[in-house]
Amino acid sequence: MKVNWALFKLLLALVLVGFLYGFTQARNGERKLKDVVVEFTDENSPFITVSSVNKLLIQNNDSVTSIPKETLVLNEMESRLLRHPMVRDAQVFVTVDGTLGAQIEQRNPIARVAGSPNYYVDEDGKKMPLSTVYAARVPLITGTSKNNFTELTPLLLKLRDDEFMSRSVVGIHRNSDGTVELRIRKQDFKVFFGTIENIDKKFQNYKAFCKKATSDKILSDYKLVNLQFGNQVVATKK
């Protein structure tokens, strides 16, 4: 029987490569982690501390250097991070040199609700608890709502993205009929916004009114600015 040496050498090479790969993987799995690097991918100030993230990652271990790489279950780590009320998204990975990395996207509050207890509404329209680490400077919401004021999200997002309005509006009051009033910084007049419709047009009208009234130096003469009609501003003097 003639031996096919070429095939034999190929099979031997494959077996050797497989052995070396398995040996390398085993040795790599036995290595312990040497560091944890946490990165916040959003632009918010931290609502959750790096030490809190570390505790969620390594749990009952004294330090990261006591954890063998082979014992890591990255999906479980990500799940623990995602269950934290300040985390919107999380990615966990291990580098070749033994660094455990976590990329954290925090939830982004766009308003604070005066309630018992107080809480935030985030940019996804969801209820978000206050942080013990950092307090966001966002408009204060008062009034009534059966949905944790999530119906105000379109208005809140527009306020956040409009430089003039975000500087001016410090509070929002929702009436029981669904209409909205705006509280303005350093002004004692009330702005009746009406329903959450035609937001851009109402913003445009309000800014034009403020520009004209400021130019005429009569802005402080008003007690009510009504924007509910969309195409015009109805202002009432004191």
All structural domains of the chain = 33-106 (3.10.20.310), 109-237 (3.40.50)
pLDDT value at residue 197: 93
- What is the Cα–Cα distance from 119 to 141, expressed in whole angstroms? 10
> Is residue 86 a contact partner of residue 107, using CB atoms and an 8 Å limit?
yes
In this prediction, residue 35 has a pLDDT band, given cuts at 50, 70 and 90, of confident
Of the listed ranges 36-40, 104-108, 134-138, the least confidently predicted one is 36-40
> Per residue in 152-187, pLDDT tens?
999 999 999 999 999 999 999 999 999 999 999 989
Go through 86-123 and write b for each residue having 16 or more CB atoms within 10 A of its CB, e for each that does not. Answer: bbbebebeeeeebebebebebbbbbbbbeeeeebbbbb
Closest by alpha carbon to 42, among 124, 150, 143, 153?
124
Residue 100 tokens read as: 């455990």
In this prediction, residue 231 has a pLDDT band, given cuts at 50, 70 and 90, of confident
Residue with the larger pLDDT of the pair 70 and 209: 209
In this prediction, residue 13 has a pLDDT band, given cuts at 50, 70 and 90, of low
Go through 147-162 and write b for each residue having 16 or more CB atoms within 10 A of its CB, e for each that does not. Answer: ebbebbbebbebbbeb
> Is residue 112 a contact partner of residue 139, using CB atoms and an 8 Å limit?
yes
Asked if the bond preceding 117 is cis, omega within 30° of 0, the reply is yes
